[in-house]
Amino acid sequence: MKLGVNIDHIATLRQARYVGDIDAHNAEPDVLGAAAICERAGAEGITVHLRADRRHIQDADVFRLRERITTKLNLEMGNTQEILEIALRVKPEDVCLVPENRREVTTEGGLDVAGQLEALRPTVSRLRAAGVRVSMFIEPSFEQITASHALRVEMIELHTGAFANSQGDAQLAELARLRDAAVFAHSLGLQVNAGHGINYTNIALIRELPHIVELNIGHSIVARALTAGLGQAVRDILAAMQRP
């Protein structure tokens, strides 16, 4: 499994003080510096979500990351014309289309691809024409996987939130859903990624799933970085991703 580190919450901390002034000489923490640390520690990609409300990552962050990172850029975005035009200018390697609700604290579930096929089709077509690989952030549902395949995207990212938020038998049931979804998506030729709520404990179950190519992890890494340092936090999660 490859690791993409989501650095949104590095920007969240910066925005808590430097809203509207990210270029101030003393604006910190440094999003670009954080991305570089993650790469040096072994991350194989940097993930950011450019939200419509710009609550953390800002437009300038995305353009600067595009210029500076040495791995790949995975841009998460809602299906809006404004953000699409930015994505087409930035041309990240990957775009992951996600649902977006301005009142949510974090992404609350998967994108309803099956219910939004016609709205998503032009966006997917324009991104793919620009040479950008497209992923759909979806629940582990055969219906959503089939709809994603119908849009001819290259990838899906399975939303692991329900798994992360459950315990005991309920968590094992969610793990089984993820496993079945991964097998089905792989059979259709889709690359299978996963993310949301994965941490240093539950990753022991996630790493046993078949066909998962990439994990996108953010909050847990940034939280550990407060005490262990960002580089060590990335190295720790990479070690935990390895099957014993």
Provide the phi-psi class of 5: left if phi over 0, else alpha when psi is between -120 and 50, else beta. beta
Active-site residue 49, yes or no?
yes
Of the candidates 196, 227, 237, 172, the one whose C-alpha atom is nearest the C-alpha of residue 47 is 196
Preceding peptide of 29 cis, ω within 30°:
yes
List the catalytic residue out of 39, 76, 100, 157: 76
List the catalytic residue out of 9, 49, 56, 159: 49
Query: Which residues does residue 77 pair with via DSSP β-bridges, in sequence order?
Result: 97
Q: What is the Cα–Cα distance from 244 to 241, expressed in whole angstroms?
A: 9
Active-site residue 76, yes or no?
yes
Q: What is the Cα–Cα distance from 72 to 66, expressed in whole angstroms?
A: 8
User: What is the Rg, in whole angstroms, of the alpha carbon atoms belonging to the chain?
Assistant: 17
Q: What is the Cα–Cα distance from 152 to 11, expressed in whole angstroms?
A: 33
List the catalytic residue out of 56, 149, 159, 196: 196
Q: What is the Cα–Cα distance from 159 to 108, expressed in whole angstroms?
A: 9
| Active-site residue set | 49, 76, 196
